[in-house]
Amino acid sequence: MSAHLSLEQLLELREPGVEPGTAEARAHLDGCAACAEEFRRLEQRAARLRALPSLRPSRDHWRAVQARLDAERRRRRVRWAGVGSVALAASLLAAVVVRDLAAPAPLEASTELGSVMAQSRMLEEAIRAYGPEARVVDGYTATVAGELEERIARLDRELESSQFLEDAERQDVMVQLWRERVGLLDALVDVHLASASNVGL
């Protein structure tokens, strides 16, 4: 081999394993001072890259990571509790409707219950579609969203226990709780929207 080695060939010589033509290139390198010098510079450049100072973040990010993990755990809890209470409330609502059909009575409360449950579902779907768990949020948003999710989880537990109430007060209590749930979900949507607009999404 008479011509000097190309940069690609020199780079190839740094790779483990034997590529076709490597032995020939290696032989050339051993006998050519110019290519040996170029190879040495290549090695030095890589060594200098490895010796660059280690860069450090300007602040601690562990709390933000923790906040995201906590939010995800709460969200999972809310989702399961929410699904459970939606199913429960739906079956209760169906039971109420069947009962009311059997013994006609005013349907206002059950109609309202159906309406707030639908609103709650719509807001939950909107949040799910936005996918907050896949997004990076600032500490403030994570804290506020976390508090709202915690309150929703508490409401869901109250909704589950409301099934043990007397028929007479159960519907009113459930309507009230589902209204509160819609209010909290609404606030959660606002928090995520504000966060998204802050980062220009």
Partner 1 sequence: MSRTLVMDSFLLADAESVVARARAGDAAALEAIYRAFEPPVYNLARRICRSVEDAEDVLQETFFEVCRSIRTFRAEGSLWGWIRTIAASKALMRLRRNKYRDTDELHDEVVAFRREDVGLRMDLEAALERLSDTARAVVWLHDVEGYTHDEIAALMGKTTSFSKSQLARAHQRLRRWLGEEAVA
Per-residue interface string for the shown chain with partner 1, residues 133-172, x marking contact by CB under 8 A: ---x------------------------------------
Q: Which of 1, 22, 26, 68 binds partner 1 (CB under 8 A)?
A: 68
Q: Which of 24, 37, 125, 169 binds partner 1 (CB under 8 A)?
A: 37
Torsion of CA 142, 147, 150, 154, to 10 degrees: -160
Q: Which of 30, 31, 52, 102 binds partner 1 (CB under 8 A)?
A: 52
Distance separating alpha carbons of residues 191 and 70, to the nearest angstrom: 17
Distance separating alpha carbons of residues 12 and 16, to the nearest angstrom: 9
Q: Which of 27, 61, 87, 157 binds partner 1 (CB under 8 A)?
A: 61
Using CB under 8 A as the binding criterion, the count of chain residues that bind partner 1 stands at: 36
Question: Angle CA(57)–CA(62)–CA(67) in degrees, nearest 5?
Answer: 130
The owner of tokens 């909290």 is 184
Q: Which of 2, 18, 50, 197 binds partner 1 (CB under 8 A)?
A: 50
* Dihedrals phi, psi of 165, to nearest 5 degrees: -75, 165
* Dihedrals phi, psi of 164, to nearest 5 degrees: -85, 0
Distance separating alpha carbons of residues 54 and 199, to the nearest angstrom: 28
Distance separating alpha carbons of residues 70 and 194, to the nearest angstrom: 20
Q: How many CB atoms lie within 10 A of CB 144?
A: 18
**Residue 4 binds to partner 1 (criterion: CB under 8 A):** yes
Q: Which of 29, 35, 159, 184 binds partner 1 (CB under 8 A)?
A: 35
**Residue 201 binds to partner 1 (criterion: CB under 8 A):** no
Q: In whole angstroms, how close is the CB of 180 to partner 1 at the nearest point?
A: 30
Binding site for partner 1 (CB under 8 A): 3-8, 11-12, 15-16, 34-35, 37-38, 41-42, 45-46, 48-50, 52, 54-58, 61-62, 64-66, 68-69, 72, 136
